[in-house]
Chains A and B, each alone.
Chain A
Amino acid sequence: MSRMPSASKALALLLTLSTAGALAACARVDVNSPQIRGVGYVRLDEVVKRHPLYGQLAGIDDAIAALNLSALGPRVPRSAAQIAAQTKSLNAQLKAAQDRANQIIAQKQGDFARKEQAAVAAALSAAGQSGAGSSVAGQMSRTSAQQAQAAAAAANQDFMAYQQSVIAQDNAALASVERELQAQAAAKFAARSEAAQQRESQLSLQLSQADASARLAAKTRLSNLAMDDATRKALRAQLAALDKKEADALASLRAKDQADLEAYRKTLQAETAAGVRTQAAKIQGQTRAKLESRRNEVTSQLRSLAPAPLPNNLSPALQAKIQQIHQQFQTQFQADAQATVDEYNQTKADLDRQFAALHGADVGATGAVGKQLADLQKKRSDLYDKIVAQIQSETSRIAKDRGLKVAFDNVEAAVGGYDLTDEVSKDVESLHE
């Protein structure tokens, strides 16, 4: 073995150390390699799922889902202010629809009246009663004209106001009836549900009392440290069998109660709906009768302002002809007005449905649910932000340690670059150990 000069020895040692260092560095990823080029990324969603607080986040998500499901039930979660605002909006829409319908009908009424007058005048002229015709027309224009129009407008206005107030009462009464019926149904359901719970509690108590002595004996024997394994195992099995027997009996009763309650809920819903329908029909019938009665009053008032009667010296044939003209225009007007009335009724039915759905909500309970939901969502958002901030801080630190130039959050696909996900996950996990 040849001896090396000391300088060569030192160089060899230095080279060996340098090579070892270079090899060790190779074990770490070379972030400057062509595949990485100083770019890193972290799959944030994946790290979030591995974060120690993820369980808490998932728990909040489940609670939010549960609250959202409750929103689909019969009680829609709206606050009292929201219900008031929506009621106001519905009432405004209803009033606008009424005004529109009344305005159209009044316009049609005027048009048909003018046409009828023209037709009557033409018939009188054709029969050689031009003087009578012009006299009638003259009388009409003198006696009615502005005064009749003003009176008719005032009567219509009055009728519209009356109609609106009656309809508003109708809606309020309906909403009140509906609330009352729903409250009754809820109280009945709660009573049945409570009875079921009491039955289950009673059974649970009875079962545990019945097994108390056997359970106590087994437990006492189990506390004996000197007992052999086989006996200990048998005693544990005996205790487990007692637990299972009680749990099975309780589960059986609970399943029966659940089925019973579900059926009862459906019955109550059907009863409530039928009750609401009956009451609605009754209230709407009363409303129609009130409106009909007032309409008759208004019509008779307006009739007194009708044009002056025709001259007495008209032949029966001409009188019959004029009567026929009147009937014809009356029929045409009614058919034309009916389309407007139908359209209004359709709008009203739609608004009534929205009104009923809105007032089906339990203001107190749903306001609380809405607030609970908002609180949970804020809690979730805060927790998520906290988790993400921690992940980003760890990612930043590791990226700096590794000598990366840039690190991204969530990428769609990666051919190269350095995936920091595992390292960040481990670091985040270790921070909480």
Chain B
Amino acid sequence: MKIRFISILAAVLLLGGAVAPAAIAADLGDVGFVDQAAIATLPAFQAANGQLNAYKSQLDGQYNAAIKAARSDADRQRITIQFQQKFSDKQREVVGPLYTRAKIAIAKVAANDNLTIIVDKRIVIFGGRDATKEVIDLLQSSQALAPPSATPPASEIGFVDQTALDALPKVKAANDEFAKFATDQRAAFSAKFASARTDADKAQVGKDYNKTLSDKQDQLLKPLVDQTKSVTADVAKKKNLLLVIDRADVIFGGTDITKDVQDALSK
């Protein structure tokens, strides 16, 4: 009787062990990636870039002539802004439609393959679903692409916009302070370098300079980086996310938690 009970218990345990992971939560199979470098080599993108480069060369000549004729710094600034605007307009005109088509193609592939996020290939070391070929095939097809009607499902991979976080007053203040420190140290160490006589002395100056900057970075910026990571993790936990990556690596989908992290850091 006792043996039978143990046998049943063990069998239940085994069975439970075998099915548990699938029953509790499925593995994350909805992460895709795209090789953006491969897309950039497509003839349409290369032609657009060639066109843009030719326009830039032509614009550079005009810009140099205009700058030479400028009589004041204000003139020079106005001319620079004017030419930058011209280039941006051309960029929008030449590359804009291609980017829009690429974005739609990526969204369609994500919808077809049930991917909740598509990231840049560079950050995926192993696994994931390579969507590059599907995206390229769609891009190169002659068919008109309409954006998928359904919005992408929520992803358990989140992202934060580091640029936006860097613009927070306390982060900016720390970055500015570090930049000033680096400039001062550069001047001080260059004087030391000038009086160093042997190669060994010069190498030591370089080493000391790097260490000085690294120490200051640890003192000034590391606490902020740690705090940002901790706050990001807290927000991610509340939003039931597994991981958070940088926005720059996200091509499509994902869960944006930048605002929540900004708010939490600003408290």
Contact = CB atoms under 8 A, between A and B. Distances in A.
Given A69-B190, A70-B193, A395-B125, A412 B206 contact: no
Given A63-B206, A404-B127, A413-B233, A73 B31 contact: no
Given A39-B242, A413-B243, A414-B242, A73 B210 contact: no
B44 interface: no
A11 B3 CA distance: 9
Interface stretch (A27-35, A227-235, A275-283): A27-35
A15 B12 CA distance: 11
Interface string B1-35: 00110110011011001000110111111010000
Contact of B243 (A39, A72, A405): A39
A30 B10 contact: no
Nearest to B186: A72
Interface string A87-110: 000001100100010000000000
Contacts of B189: 69
A296 interface: no
Interface stretch (A115-123, A201-209, A258-266, A325-333): A258-266
B126 A69 contact: no
A62 B209 CA distance: 8
B128 A65 contact: no
Query: For this complex, into which size category does the number of interface residues on chain A fall?
Result: 35 or more
A265 B197 CA distance: 13
Interface in A268-292: none
Contacts of A11: 7
In this complex, which of A62, A67, A74, A415 has the most chain B Cβ atoms within 10 angstroms of its Cβ?
A415
A39 B126 CA distance: 10
B164 interface: no
Contact of A414 (B24, B125, B159, B233): B233
Contacts of B31: 39, 405-406
Nearest to A73: B194
B74 interface: no
Nearest to A71: B190
A66 B29 contact: no
A410 B123 CA distance: 7
Contacts of B142: none
A406 B130 CA distance: 11
Contact of A66 (B4, B28, B205): B205
Given A73-B193, A406-B28, A63 B203 contact: yes
A182 to B, nearest CB: 14
B139 interface: no
A38 interface: yes
A252 interface: no
Given A15-B6, A66-B202, A69-B206, A414 B190 contact: no
B244 interface: yes
A197 interface: yes
Contact of A15 (B11, B123, B125, B229): B11
Interface in B17-70: 17, 21-22, 24-29, 31, 68-69
B126 A396 contact: yes
B135 interface: no
A26 B258 CA distance: 36
A404 B126 contact: yes
A380 B126 CA distance: 25
A22 interface: yes
B127 A399 contact: yes
A154 interface: no
A396 B127 CA distance: 8
B224 interface: no
Interface in B65-88: 68-69, 71
A107 B186 CA distance: 50
Given A33-B24, A39-B28, A411-B243, A66 B125 contact: no
A8 B5 CA distance: 11
Nearest to B162: A412
A406 B17 contact: no
Contact of B14 (A22, A70, A197, A413): A22
A32 B29 CA distance: 12
B228 to A, nearest CB: 8
Given A258-B195, A395-B125, A405-B127, A32 B6 contact: no
Contacts of A30: 21
A74 B195 CA distance: 12
B93 interface: no
A156 interface: no
B205 A400 contact: no
A411 B243 CA distance: 7
A412 B245 contact: yes
Interface of B: 3-4, 6-7, 10-11, 13-14, 17, 21-22, 24-29, 31, 68-69, 71, 119, 122-128, 156, 159-160, 162, 186-187, 189-190, 193-195, 197, 202-203, 205-207, 209-210, 229-230, 232-233, 236-237, 241-246
22 contacts: A19-B10, A38-B27, A38-B28, A58-B210, A61-B210, A62-B203, A63-B206, A65-B207, A69-B209, A196-B197, A261-B197, A265-B194, A265-B195, A399-B126, A399-B127, A406-B124, A407-B125, A408-B124, A408-B245, A412-B244, A414-B233, A415-B243
> 6 closest A-B pairs (Cβ-Cβ)?
A66-B206, A38-B27, A32-B21, A72-B190, A406-B127, A413-B232
Given A37-B242, A405-B29, 13 more contacts: A8-B4, A32-B22, A63-B206, A64-B206, A69-B193, A73-B194, A96-B69, A262-B195, A404-B127, A405-B128, A411-B245, A412-B232, A415-B237
